[in-house]
Amino acid sequence: MVVNGGGIGKISRLIKGIVSLALLAVTQQLYAEEIIDSTKESFLTLERIIEDGYSKLSGLQLIELMEKHVIEVVDIETEATSVSQLKSDSSKSESGMERKFDETKKDKASAFLDTRLLARAPPLDGKIERRVDGDALIATDGVRTYRYRVYEKQGHMYAVRDIDAGYVYFEVKVK
């Protein structure tokens, strides 16, 4: 097929037009996301829960929580839920740290479109080792290590990771 010189110019203009429309669509989408983000309620903060009367659990309280209870952890923003309980094959667990986690509910689909949530540190993966140090639960997967502090008021609890810059993303429910 032979294309004359005028045809190449038309194709070039057509490609430029398509690229321009694509850039315009992306720009408008990003602008719309910024507007939506600015109207969203801000994340819960450690400062706010302390002002509301929540107090930090001690290391002994954390150990008791881990030894005696099934714990449900709910991500406040994505609604992902996991349940933690003592491993059934662990007759003598080291302060309740040998636990099995089952993810019972995945992140809601809209969480993948929220730019605020995409910036968060990822959850730990694989075999997770835990220990209590002072008033913190330290958890590592060998790649990342997070320190969790748990705050409680009248049986309602939140967990705060050190890496989350004072934001509270996890609600802890005791079963």
Q: Work out the average pLDDT over 122-149.
A: 90
> What is the structure's pLDDT at 106?
57
Between residues 121 and 103, which one has the greater pLDDT? 121
Distance between CA atoms of 77 and 6, rounded to whole angstroms? Answer: 56
DSSP per-residue letters across 150-173:
EEEETTEEEEEEGGGTTB--EEEE
Quote the tokens at residue 19.
Answer: 């690229």
**Least confident residue range of 21-25, 105-109, 145-149:** 105-109
Between residues 115 and 12, which one has the greater pLDDT? 12
> What is the structure's pLDDT at 96?
47
Q: What angle do CA 125, 46, 41 make, to 5 degrees?
A: 90
Report pLDDT digits (tens) over 37-96: 554 567 899 999 999 999 999 999 999 988 888 888 898 888 888 887 776 555 544 544
Question: Confidence band (pLDDT; 50, 70, 90) for 107?
Answer: low
Annotated domain spans of the chain: 1-39, 46-174
Distance between CA atoms of 83 and 174, rounded to whole angstroms? Answer: 10
Between residues 115 and 15, which one has the greater pLDDT? 15
Report pLDDT digits (tens) over 138-167: 999 899 999 999 999 999 999 999 999 899
**Least confident residue range of 52-61, 74-83, 109-118, 127-136:** 109-118
> What is the structure's pLDDT at 56?
97
Task: Quote the percentage of the chain above a pLDDT of 90.
Answer: 34
Q: Work out the average pLDDT over 18-24.
A: 79
Report field, pTM of the whole predicted structure over 0.75: no
- Quick one: DSSP state of residue 53? T
